[in-house]
Amino acid sequence: MSGTSENIIKECSAVWFRLFDHRPFLQGEINFFVKEFEEKRGDREVEKLFEILEKSTEIKDSQVDKVKHSSANNLPDLQQVLDQSNHLCDQVLLARSAYDPEKSVKAKCESLEISNKQFEEDLVAKYKAVDESFAEKERLLKEYYQQLSDKLHQSLNIP
């Protein structure tokens, strides 16, 4: 009986592996897919390599001389512009390092104080001129009315 049950278990196990173990099938499919992919990829890569070779040959034959000629003509001008830019940058950096914000603020405050004092002096002078003008007009009006009063009294005393 033990031999029979062992055989049955082995046969059931074999049937189970045949029905449910897909590893050999999957391995075959994976190998087929990889082979197809490598062949197609290899063809595409070879085509791309030939395209790159053609383009590099074309560039070597026609464009290198143009680039050499263009660079020989334009690089000195570019170098001059870069030197000027570098010089300007150095000047800006030097001015920035020499700039002291505290001194600038202090100088502006002093300038403001001076202009404030000048404004106040001008204002006082204008007030004084207005006061003098007012006093002069007041004096003239007093004289005028005094003269009128005198004339009025004289005309009343005539009888």
| pLDDT the model gives residue 128 | 95
Q: Is 159 helix (H, G, I), strand (E, B) or coil?
A: coil
| pLDDT the model gives residue 29 | 83
Q: Across residues 41-60, what is the average pLDDT?
A: 80
Q: How are the residues of the chain apportioned to helix, strand and coil, as percentages rounded to the nearest 5?
A: 95, 0, 5
H runs (alpha helix) in 59-100: 64-98
Segment of 1-10, 35-44, 52-61 carrying the highest mean pLDDT: 52-61
Rounded-to-integer distance, Cα 143 and Cα 129, Å: 21
Spell out the domain ranges in the chain: 7-41, 46-99, 102-158
Q: What is the mean pLDDT of the chain?
A: 85
Q: Give 62-108 pLDDT, tens digit per residue.
A: 877 788 888 888 888 889 999 999 999 999 888 888 777 888 888 89
- Which residue's entry shows tokens 């009006």? 141
| pLDDT the model gives residue 133 | 95
Rounded-to-integer distance, Cα 103 and Cα 101, Å: 5
- Which residue's entry shows tokens 């007009």? 137
| pLDDT the model gives residue 2 | 61
> Amino acid identity, residue 136?
E
* Percentage of the chain modeled with pLDDT above 90: 35
Rounded-to-integer distance, Cα 94 and Cα 90, Å: 6
